Amino acid sequence: MRQAISLVCLSLLFLIAGCKKETSIISQTVDPLVKYTADSFNDLYLWYDLMPTVNLATLKTPADYISKVKFAKDKWSFTMNYNDLFNLLQNGVTTGYGIGLGFDSQNLLRILYVYDNSAMGKAGVKRGWQIKSINSKLVSSISSSELNSNLANSTNTFEFIKNDGSPVSISMIRGAIVMNTVLYQTTFDRLGKKIGYLVFNEFLDSSVKELNTAFETFSNNGVKDFILDLRYNGGGTLDCADSLVALLAGKLNKDKIYNTLIYNNKHTSLGFSSKISSKNYSLALDKIVVITSSSTASASELVISGIKPHVNVKLIGTATSGKPVGMNIVGDTKLNLAVAPISFKNVNSQGYTDYYDGIPVDFTVKDNAMQDWGSSSDGCLTAALNYISTGSIGYIPATKSTIVSPKIINASVEMNIDNLFQLKK
């Protein structure tokens, strides 16, 4: 059975129509996975008219095909196991140790975040801990490839240095994870201002309920200003992005357009504009500060770009990843293959798009991860609180440990999300 799904900013619309096939000379020896991938790209790819002609019979895998035809700006088109993709997007279910990792400026490997219902979460591991060794091998003595190989093991013994400087050794087994995408939430009271703080890590269908619960608390607490921490959020579903936009901006901006999808000339009819809705616990906010990094991508960037024309928004941290485009994902259940070609670009209500170099910040503050969420030692959080309270980020002391963006290792789960999906059945 063949099904289609549409991916925005990786945005996926669930299209029940198959890809339109292009006329081409295809050998009988062409791998069916390669052929399906080629048909999908010929139909949906945003830059289909710039693709070179390739002999499909010479290609062994869908990845081989994508590497031959993709446009220079395209860093995202992919194929993968169909069932795994939708189990993650719809249910938040995947496998791994349940962490995100990053090297700091001292070349120490630190925990960036932990999912509660994971091997690491259940073992009590916290953001900021250093992984000193894996299976008695010092992290400082192994290559990146060997590190990733170890993280793929079903069982490992990790030696950690905790945030208080004490060591601890823990053996654990990789396992199934149901991700909690709200990693942390609290309300600060600064100079009479009620400031909500939310660390949000993936835009999944299952996240909508988490967001509703979090914003119910913020609403009950009388929150009027907000800090949205998206520094490691790489994307997710468009439905979830719609929900977050509604909760942040829907109270005062109902029915205003926040984003429009633009497709190639074969599929202009698929384009549509997303309007801001209002929910029970939508907030009427005076200021929003978004904490970002080079790992802030896709759906996160869509939300930032979308609400900027309507709400007083400032960005603190470093520039975002730079993914102003999305995908339609088409799937063949018999082949168990999902193909995700870049299929459209996102444009906000003021025409802002093409931010391939990332969305710039208003105040540059380097990310450090030597402490758990909510700590006063977190420079990005402190700067955000200062700005909302006083209008200035104030003096942020230099720290000896800042996260080096190119050396972030997404080892939390077997599949990472760098896109915005819209799932419709």
Which segments of the chain have a pLDDT < 70? 1-28, 406-425
Give the predicted TM-score (pTM) of the model.
0.90
Give the pLDDT score at 121: 96
Task: Tell which residue, 217, 205, 262, has the closest CA to residue 89.
Answer: 205
Classified by CATH at the fold level, domain 93-178 comes out as: Pdz3 Domain (2.30.42)
Give the pLDDT score at 12: 37
Give the pLDDT score at 28: 62
Q: Where does 182-422 sit in CATH, by number?
A: 3.90.226.10
Q: Are 270 and 261 in contact (CB under 8 A)?
A: yes
CB-based contacts of 19: which residues, under 8 Å, 6+ apart? 4, 39, 40, 42, 43, 44, 330
DSSP 240: H
* Backbone angles phi and psi of 336, in degrees to 5: 55, 50
Query: Where in the chain are the domains?
Result: 2-90, 93-178, 182-422
Give the pLDDT score at 9: 37
Tell me if 93-178 shares its fold with 182-422: no
